[in-house]
Amino acid sequence: MAALSVDLVATDRRVWSGVAQSVSAPSINGQIGILPGHTPLLAVMRAGTVKVVAGDGTIFEAKVSGGFLSVDDNLVTVVADEITTPPDG
Amino acid sequence: MAGGVQRVYRQRITSTQKLKKVFRAQELIAASRIGAARTRVSQATPFAQAITQAVSALAAHARVEHPLVEARHDTDRVAVLVVVADRGMAGSYTAANIRETDRLLATLRAQGHVIDLYVAGRRAVAHYSYRGYDLKRSWVYGSDRPEQEVATEIADTLLAAFAAPADQGGVAELHVVYTQFVNMVTQTPRVVRMLPLEVVAHYSQTEEIEPLYEFEPSAPEVLDALLPRYVRSRLFSFLLESAASELASRQRAMRTATDNAEELIRNYTRLANQARQSEITQEISEIVSGADALAVGK
């Protein structure tokens, strides 16, 4: 199965970038999960937690303050106004 | 008195040496900050790219109808934002921007527009308020290290002006004058028309049928979230580029100033030596002629 290529960007930096198995993000209508092969999507996000399961199975979590999310041809871009990563990550 | 001339030269040399130290320090400060400023420019790029891609994808898949992309014809008022430095000692950096702005203002006036001037950076605030311009709003924000919050505040103020009805001072267009950071040696003042936004749709070149795009919650609402962010991110990147340009100009200007100071010190040293020499020569000739006069008197 194809993998997702994920970019997590905040206004002033790129927070995370790489290959992932799945992404979960807080869209305005509720948490949505994205797996490879998802239809193209543009969604507005509310504040919440973005969770990325990376290609090697490690999990990356970050809090976002709102923003949007785009999925196009297995390319996922999470664009947030502010991203706070947990201290260990 | 010859001794007086010498003292004047010595004083000039010391004061020029002190200035040289200041110039050198400014040059080094600018040089050390410019790396950070350039990093910030490049770090803000992924966000700007992502948002631009999203906007153009949206334009390709849905009809873009939003107040921010539509031209307004109900008012002649236009907003101009000038971004310059808070401090001087940056050569022609601010002057070049102000010249560009004046040209833009003249063009806009010739087209019959009424201009609302928004100014960021203390130098331009001083320049325009001295000349009796009515500044709509000004920001003094630490121009060599702009913060996200300031960009957001400026963007929101201007977006509000663009959204306001004509009788409440709404504006039909927004132009921004900032300095584009091309590289360390070249920074050019640039005028950009920000609002109404021009959306360029990006269509893929393949023959395949475009997949259906999903919008959540809906295309207009996604636009609502996207476009103001786009404006904010553009403005932030303008501020960051201006900051990098300011520092590069300052570094260059201060290097030239240091060189000039050295040149002056050299010249003054020569003049001082000359003065000292001529004083000695004069004293010798005074002594010799004095001795001669005594010899004749005998």
Tokens of A71: 């999925």
CB of B179 closer than 8 Å to CB of B97: yes
Query: Chain A residues with CB inside 8 Å of B233's CB?
Result: 11
Band the pLDDT of A1: cuts 50, 70, 90.
Answer: low
Handedness of CA B41, B44, B50, B55 (dihedral sign): negative
Band the pLDDT of B18: cuts 50, 70, 90.
Answer: very high
Question: CA dist A38 to A18, A30, A33, B88, B139, Å?
Answer: 17, 17, 9, 53, 45
Task: For residue range B277-286, list pLDDT tens digits in order.
Answer: 999 999 999 9
Q: Return the minimum-mean-pLDDT range out of B201-205, B262-266, B293-297.
A: B201-205
The amino acid sitting at A39 is T
Rounded to whole angstroms, how far apart are CA atoms B282 and B71? 81
Rounded to whole angstroms, how far apart are CA atoms B175 and B83? 11
How many helices (H) and strands (E) are present in chain A, helices listed first? 0, 9
pLDDT, residue A42, reads: 87
pLDDT, residue A89, reads: 45
Query: Chain A residues with CB inside 8 Å of B47's CB?
Result: 9-12, 14, 79
CB of B57 closer than 8 Å to CB of A42: yes
Give the residue-averaged pLDDT of A29-46.
89
pLDDT, residue B288, reads: 94
B22 half-sphere exposure, CB direction, 13 A CA radius = 9
Q: Is B214 on the interface with A (CB under 8 A)?
A: yes
Q: Would you state the torsion angle of the CA atoms of residues B170, B172, B178, B183, taken in this order, to the nearest 10 degrees?
A: 140
Band the pLDDT of B90: cuts 50, 70, 90.
Answer: confident
Rounded to whole angstroms, how far apart are CA atoms B110 and B22? 44
Rounded to whole angstroms, how far apart are CA atoms B270 and B9? 9
Domain boundaries, chain A: 4-84
Q: Return the minimum-mean-pLDDT range out of B47-51, B121-125, B210-214, B260-264.
A: B210-214
Tokens of A28: 């305005």
Domain boundaries, chain B: 64-201+213-250
Task: For residue range B57-80, list pLDDT tens digits in order.
Answer: 777 777 777 888 888 888 888 999
Q: Which among B83, B209, B60, B46 has a CA at the least distance from the CA of A7?
A: B46
Band the pLDDT of B182: cuts 50, 70, 90.
Answer: confident
Q: Return the minimum-mean-pLDDT range out of A51-55, B66-70, B82-86, B192-196.
A: B66-70
Give the residue-averaged pLDDT of B245-274.
94
CB of A62 closer than 8 Å to CB of A49: yes
Identify the CATH number of the domain defined by range B64-201+213-250. 3.40.1380.10
CA distance B270 to chain A (A): 54
Rounded to whole angstroms, how far apart are CA atoms B241 and B233? 12
- Say whether B44 and A43 touch across the interface (CB within 8 A): no
Peptide bond into B217 cis (omega under 30): yes
> CATH fold of A4-84, please?
ATP Synthase; domain 1 (2.60.15)
Residues of A in CB contact (< 8 Å) with B are 7, 9-14, 27-29, 32, 39-44, 67-68, 70, 72, 77, 79, 81
Gyration radius of chain B's alpha carbons: 30
Rounded to whole angstroms, how far apart are CA atoms A73 and A52? 17
Specify which residues A83 forms β-bridges with: A64
- What does the angle CA B55 – CA B57 – CA B63 come to, to the nearest 5 degrees? 80
B95 half-sphere exposure, CB direction, 13 A CA radius = 7
Tokens of B142: 């630490």
Higher pLDDT, B57 or B85: B85
Band the pLDDT of A88: cuts 50, 70, 90.
Answer: low
pLDDT, residue B213, reads: 77
pLDDT, residue B194, reads: 85
